[in-house]
Amino acid sequence: MASLGQKALAHKGVACSAHEYDYRKKGAEAAAEALGLPLGAMLKTLVVRLSDGRHVLLLAPGAADVSMRSVARALKVKSAELATERDASRLTGYQVGGIGPFGCRTPLPVLLDLAAVEHDRVYVNGGRRGLILGLALDDLIAAAEAELVDVGTGG
């Protein structure tokens, strides 16, 4: 049965590959290792709360360190912080460990860390734990209407 993430991509006419694995631990590193995929192409999805009360989804390479100060600067707000797990699940409709950028309960703006553009094909959570979707980077950017931002700790 297709996940909400797969259905959302199909609705947009975007082809993706589905990769299932035995979910034991949250995190891009665990998923990349389980599937034998490059960690740099595995994108983690972070739900970020902005000081003005809005929330955004931030996609960044699995091993990347993200600067919340850089997120705030990129969005011209005073501060940014990770949302609580409860808020992340409530907003997206997904369990933490399975949150992806497609098919969320509440449509949220998507930011994509510039460090991710090193890969032509990227992998994101498919909307449930143990499901990763692979798609072309250009398709991800277009389908998610992602804004490219430099939010690494050096950015």
CA distance 52 to 42: 29
User: In the chain, what are the domains?
Assistant: 4-149 (3.90.960.10)
Say which residue the tokens 């005073």 belong to: 78
- What phi-psi label fits residue 103: left (phi over 0), alpha (psi between -120 and 50 degrees) or beta? left
What would the pLDDT profile of 4-50 be if each residue is shown by its tens digit?
Answer: 899 999 999 999 999 999 999 888 999 999 999 999 999 999 999 99
Q: Are residues 88 and 81 in contact, defined by beta-carbon separation less than 8 angstroms?
A: no
| pTM of the predicted structure, to 2 decimals | 0.93
Say which residue the tokens 């990349």 belong to: 32
